Amino acid sequence: MPKTTNMRLKIRAVTYDLLEDGTDGEANDPIEYTTDGRLFEEDGRMELSYEESAELGMDESTTTLLFNSADPRFINMSRSGGATAGLVFNPEVPRQSCALSAQGLSLEFVIYTRHVSNTVTHEGGTIELDYLIEFHGCVTERNRFRIDVTPTGKAL
């Protein structure tokens, strides 16, 4: 039977420019915000979705993280609205081709997944992603993304 739970999400993302030797450079200013979202589950398939922050220039965009409760380490992230994107985080096949489209421009790139941790259930949990972004074979930055998820107590 399908189940939906309203959630409060605390999101933190930090990017690092990489040095020529491939090590992390200085961290850029972190992005942190809190928003409301929903966790939907049906037949073990989980969808955590939320509206992006207008303050970050992502107004009218929705992000959805898709995963299976049996093995939550494999995460597909899709973004729709003002900007569209499809990203795949797979620790067993870490290099994944991905795409982004915004303001009439399309961009293909590669995500190299370094680490995925996902404990999200209807009782709450955390998703942590650590990944590199490559353009045309050149690693350009490292991203660390964390979402802390807490049920709001409002059942649907």
CATH of 3-155, one of 3.30.1490.100, 2.40.40.20, 2.40.128.20, 3.30.70.250: 2.40.128.20
112-129, pLDDT tens digit by residue? 999 999 999 999 999 999
- Average the pLDDT over each of 12-16, 23-27, 98-102 and give the range with the smallest value: 23-27
pTM of the entire predicted model: 0.89
Using alpha carbons, select from 124, 125, 132, 128 the residue that is nearest to residue 116.
128
Q: How far apart are the first and last CA of the chain?
A: 13
Average confidence score pLDDT of the chain: 89
How does residue 156 score in pLDDT terms, banded at 50, 70 and 90? very low
Q: Where are the beta strands (DSSP E) in 30-90?
A: 31-42, 45-51, 61-68, 71-81, 83-89
* Residue 154: per-residue pLDDT: 55
* Residue 50: per-residue pLDDT: 94
Contact (CB, 8 A) for 96 and 108: no
Question: What integer is the mean pLDDT of 78-83?
Answer: 86
